[in-house]
């Protein structure tokens, strides 16, 4: 059996098709950190390490340092067909660094699936080769923002999306914006709201119950209060019938147990950049399933590489039950181009998973390359 021989980090800056605005940031590009893990037989597995200082506490520099040091040292020399053992080693190698672990771990799972000759989603136990996604609408702050948001919502509906996710909590008139979106798109479109921790508990209850009382038709409200305010999440859940979803409050199984004890939410958004990769994401979903808490799979601002791993997880979870509605995996649609050749592709709201081994990614896309942005991380000494 071939063994993991080297780890390489590639940095690519990809323009967005439109600015992405939430309660905590605005972005015009995605600076993707792609991780390539190679084995002695010349196979490559691909992963991505999305970085967000405000969300995961990681930067490009901290990710590169973690990958070059302890994460590479933990995996170089391992068999290329043992991703669960690699996942355990990565979790022991660093404290925190979930995005860095995601990048290396997903690349190793991809490599293992390629070694087995299976698409990654089938290697994980999934059968669905396409996954439906919602589409995110940036938070609106000004009147002009609101007009752009409505135009964009109608454009997405015209492209076949049946679920829209409205970002709020950035200082605009959240109540009015959601009502305007509903009036514009009609009753057949599902509307989700993501406050990105932007409200107080009382504010959340007032706004959400107003939508309920006026039959606005909001499917769910995601992370209405600060991620550390579990009591606040429970307060909102107790006072409204609209499902409350935890995102930033739940990163791993330990935090999910705390949320479950408080009965704070009925659903969770699983993101590989929070869990540190595929193994913990699957464990989190199983714990949620045991407690009758439904899940959907989400993403950060990332490229088609990260989406390929997340969509494979969604396909696997579709077999176990508890997966809720459209997934939250539209990040690739925000990019003007993919930084890689092969892998997943989008058609309207549908993500098509590759039927090639692993994620189906074959190489970096030359059109996305920037001179000097790929940095080789030397392999650690063999164990």
Instruction: Identify whether residues 131 and 89 lie together within a single domain.
Output: no
> Is the separation of the CB atoms in 93 and 74 below 8 Å?
yes
By residue range, what is the domain housing residue 101? Answer: 4-118+367-377
pLDDT tens digits for range 192-209: 999 999 999 999 999 999
Measured between alpha carbons, how far is residue 203 from residues 121, 197, 239, 253, 255 in Å?
41, 12, 12, 29, 24
Average pLDDT of span 88-102: 94
pLDDT tens digits for range 219-243: 999 999 999 999 999 999 999 999 9
Average pLDDT of span 281-303: 94
Distance from C-alpha of 155 to C-alpha of 359, rounded to nearest angstrom: 30
Residue 371 pLDDT more than 70?
no
pLDDT confidence tier of residue 373, bands split at 50, 70 and 90: very low
Instruction: Identify whether residues 133 and 108 lie together within a single domain.
Output: no
> What totals of helices (H) and strands (E) does the chain contain, helices first?
13, 16
Provide the terminal-to-terminal Cα distance of the chain, rounded to the nearest Å.
Answer: 16
Instruction: Identify whether residues 167 and 114 lie together within a single domain.
Output: no
Residue 51 lies inside a defined structural domain of this protein: yes
Looking at 95-99, 214-218, 234-238, 304-308, which range is the least confident one? Answer: 95-99
Give the pLDDT of residue 379: 29
Instruction: Identify whether residues 154 and 264 lie together within a single domain.
Output: yes
pLDDT confidence tier of residue 54, bands split at 50, 70 and 90: low
Measured between alpha carbons, how far is residue 161 from residues 135, 149, 185, 346, 356 in Å?
7, 15, 11, 12, 27
Distance from C-alpha of 60 to C-alpha of 66, rounded to nearest angstrom: 10
pLDDT confidence tier of residue 25, bands split at 50, 70 and 90: low
Residue 53 pLDDT more than 60?
no
pLDDT confidence tier of residue 29, bands split at 50, 70 and 90: confident
Residue 262 lies inside a defined structural domain of this protein: yes
Residue 276 lies inside a defined structural domain of this protein: yes
Residue 22 pLDDT more than 70?
no
Average pLDDT of span 68-75: 95
Residue 376 pLDDT more than 60?
no
Average pLDDT of span 129-135: 97
Q: Is 222 annotated as a binding residue?
A: yes
Q: Is 82 annotated as a binding residue?
A: no
Which one is catalytic: 10, 114, 227, 271? 271
Looking at 282-296, 298-312, 328-342, 363-377, which range is the least confident one? Answer: 363-377
Q: What is the CATH number of the domain that holds 277?
A: 3.20.20.120
Lookup: tokens for 286: 């199983």
Give the pLDDT of residue 328: 97
Give the pLDDT of residue 212: 97
Tell me, yes or no, if 271 is annotated catalytic.
Answer: yes
Give the pLDDT of residue 381: 27
Residue 18 lies inside a defined structural domain of this protein: yes
Q: Is 194 annotated as a binding residue?
A: yes
Give the pLDDT of residue 281: 97
Residue 383 lies inside a defined structural domain of this protein: no
Q: What is the CATH number of the domain that holds 106?
A: 3.30.390.10
Instruction: Identify whether residues 85 and 39 lie together within a single domain.
Output: yes
Percent of the chain topping pLDDT 70? 92
pLDDT confidence tier of residue 21, bands split at 50, 70 and 90: low
Instruction: Identify whether residues 167 and 186 lie together within a single domain.
Output: yes
Looking at 172-176, 179-183, 272-276, 293-297, which range is the least confident one? Answer: 172-176
Instruction: Identify whether residues 282 and 207 lie together within a single domain.
Output: yes
Closest-CA residue to 36 (of 21, 22, 18, 48): 48
Residue 23 pLDDT more than 90?
no
Instruction: Identify whether residues 79 and 23 lie together within a single domain.
Output: yes
Which one is catalytic: 10, 43, 114, 167? 167
Q: What is the mean pLDDT of the chain?
A: 90
Distance from C-alpha of 343 to C-alpha of 368, rounded to nearest angstrom: 15
Residue 380 pLDDT more than 80?
no
Tell me, yes or no, if 167 is annotated catalytic.
Answer: yes
> Is the separation of the CB atoms in 134 and 153 below 8 Å?
no
Instruction: Identify whether residues 132 and 281 lie together within a single domain.
Output: yes
Residue 382 lies inside a defined structural domain of this protein: no
Instruction: Identify whether residues 181 and 85 lie together within a single domain.
Output: no
Residue 296 pLDDT more than 50?
yes
Closest-CA residue to 207 (of 238, 175, 239, 176): 175
Instruction: Identify whether residues 296 and 230 lie together within a single domain.
Output: yes
Give the pLDDT of residue 55: 66
Give this prediction's pTM.
0.91
Number of domains in the chain: 2
Instruction: Identify whether residues 265 and 303 lie together within a single domain.
Output: yes
Closest-CA residue to 63 (of 108, 101, 25): 101
Q: What is the maximum span of the chain, computed from C-alpha positions, in angstroms?
A: 64
Looking at 29-33, 133-137, 148-152, 247-251, which range is the least confident one? Answer: 29-33
């Amino acid at each position: 059996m071939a063994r993991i021989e080297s780890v390489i980090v590639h940095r690519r800056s990809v323009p967005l098709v439109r600015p992405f605005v939430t309660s905590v940031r605005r972005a015009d590009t995605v600076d993707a950190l792609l991780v390539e893990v190679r084995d002695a037989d010349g196979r490559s597995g691909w992963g991505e390490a999305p970085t967000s200082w405000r969300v995961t506490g990681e930067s490009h520099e901290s990710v590169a340092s973690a990958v070059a040091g302890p994460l590479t040292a933990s995996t170089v020399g391992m068999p290329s067909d043992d991703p669960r053992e690699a996942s355990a080693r990565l979790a022991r190698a660093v404290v925190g660094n979930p995005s860095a672990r995601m990048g290396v771990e997903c690349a190793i799972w991809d490599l293992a699936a390629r070694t087995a000759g299976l698409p990654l989603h089938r290697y994980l136990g999934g059968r669905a080769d396409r996954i439906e996604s919602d589409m995110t609408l940036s938070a609106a702050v000004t009147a002009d923002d609101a007009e752009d948001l409505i135009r964009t919502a109608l454009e997405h509906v015209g492209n076949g999306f049946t679920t829209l996710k409205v970002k709020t909590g950035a200082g605009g008139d959240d109540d009015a914006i959601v009502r305007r979106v509903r009036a514009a798109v009609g009753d057949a479109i599902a509307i989700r709201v993501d406050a990105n921790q932007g409200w107080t508990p009382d504010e959340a209850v007032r706004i959400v119950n107003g939508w309920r009382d006026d039959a606005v038709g909001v499917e769910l409200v995601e992370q209405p209060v600060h991620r550390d305010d579990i009591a606040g999440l429970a307060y909102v859940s107790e006072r409204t019938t609209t499902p409350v979803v935890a995102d930033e409050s739940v990163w791993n199984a330990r935090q999910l147990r705390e949320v479950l004890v408080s009965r704070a939410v009925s659903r969770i958004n699983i993101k590989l950049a929070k869990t540190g990769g595929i193994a913990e994401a699957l464990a989190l979903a199983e714990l949620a399933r045991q407690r009758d808490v439904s899940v959907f799979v989400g993403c950060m601002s990332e490229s088609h590489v990260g989406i390929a791993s997340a969509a494979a997880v969604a396909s696997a979870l579709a077999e176990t039950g508890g997966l809720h509605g459209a997934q939250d995996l539209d990040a690739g649609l925000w990019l003007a181009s993919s930084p890689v050749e092969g892998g997943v592709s989008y058609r309207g709201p549908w993500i098509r998973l590759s039927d090639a081994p692993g994620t189906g990614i074959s190489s970096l896309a030359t059109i996305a390359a920037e001179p000097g942005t790929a940095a080789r991380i030397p392999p650690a000494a063999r164990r």
